[in-house]
Amino acid sequence: MVCGRFLNRHQVLSHTASLSLAFFGYSTRMPLRKKIIRKPMEIGKVQSILIRGVAIIMIVFYHFQYDMFGGSFLMERGQGVIAWIADSFVYIQQEPNAWIGFLMYFCFIGVNIFFVLSGYGLVKKYKDREILKTEDMLKQSMKILIPYWLAHPIIHVVDWGLKTLQYQFGFIEYKTYFAGMHSFSQYIESFLVFPRWFNLEGALTFVGTWWFVGIIIQFYLLFPFLLKLFKKLKPIHALAVCVMISFVYRYIVSVATGSSPVGVNEADIFLFIMFPAKLSEFALGMYLAWELESIKPKNSTLISIPLIILGFIFLGNVQTMFISDFLFAFGGVMLVYTITKPLKGFAKKVTFAIGEKSYLIYLYHEPTMKLILKFIFPNWIH
């Protein structure tokens, strides 16, 4: 029997999804008979921020799916895409409006989009420099690290305050002590970032979604070498080298160690969030910074969905899951480009504002969203 509270929750989700679709549909409408002038694909500063806005919304939805549905739609390792779809539809039939959680699951592709945007943005900024100094990358890294460091005490206070309220209202059975919520080593490991490169047992449990900070700093440190590679070779050849390194690495760790990429249920993702694992997606962004104009806009729409579908087919097989993230990244960027390009008016302003604050949303959304929802709806959140 489904409780009334559960029904209310899904009614809220259903209305939210419907309004969101109507909002974007209205904002992107175009007269049918208007002659469309096709221009080469280009991701300028504004377009890049719009894509970031949609990508961070996707990531928030993916984590929201975890909170509301407990990861019920995640594909099991080696399950196969047909069996996964069948199991998902059985679950959807059992719970009203659970299809919303099913759609939210696909949003983990937003993670791969950010790696592409990172490589793309760095090349656009630095490719004309004859010499790229270490100081340039240190300055770039500080733009990531300073907000990250400031987030630690803020999240700690929010965590302590909301959990204390939950205890007072009887939502949790233990009292939270301000100094005893996490071990001292967890704060040190999370604050320093680099311990995440060697161990996830301490740092990652502090705020699980912050793993992106550690790996993006790795790419900032490696970027001068990657830029030299792309300048020395043709961009397509440099991309091929990076993709080969990434594919070989991911195949070995997925088959030999039992590790799985993001999107697989109970995935041991440690080896999949090191720079060799995401090198192909980052390098794809670097390649697009040189060659994006060679892709026709109409082709971005045509190739995006097939690439994403193929990515899920490969994700369902242990022997082929090493390919999926690259397909998700390429297809995801093309799809979000298609969505954001015609945005106008209010929708464009909102998406742009979200994109500008995407990094701060990334830092704060998971701990605050989970804690606030747990406080307001204690029986809903897994």
- Residue ranges of domains in the chain: 44-376
Q: Which residue has the tokens 């300048």?
A: 231
Residue with tokens 């490991």: 189
Residue 239: the pLDDT is 96
CA 345, CA 144: separation in Å to the nearest integer? 30
Separation between Cα atoms, residue 107 and residue 290, nearest integer Å: 27
- pLDDT for 222 equals 92
How far apart are alpha carbons 340 and 191 in whole angstroms? 35
Question: What does the radius of gyration of the chain's CA atoms come to, in whole angstroms?
Answer: 21
pLDDT for res 171:
63
Query: Torsion-angle region of residue 70: left (phi > 0), alpha (psi -120 to 50) or beta?
Result: left
Say what the pLDDT of residue 232 is.
92
SS3 75: strand
The pLDDT value recorded for residue 99 is: 86
- Closest C-alpha among 327, 373, 316, 355 to residue 69: 373
The segments of the chain whose pLDDT lies below 70 read 1-40, 71, 166, 169-184, 195-206, 297, 299, 370-382
Over residues 78-100, the pLDDT tens digits come to 889 999 999 888 888 888 778 88
Mean pLDDT rounded to a whole number for the chain: 80
Question: How many residues does this entry show for the chain?
Answer: 382
Q: What is the pLDDT of residues 19-78, one digit of tens each?
A: 443 443 443 344 444 444 456 677 888 999 999 999 999 999 998 887 777 767 888 888
Please, what is the end-to-end C-alpha distance for the chain in angstroms? 19
Please tell me the distance from the alpha carbon of residue 84 to that of residue 6, in angstroms, as a whole number. 24
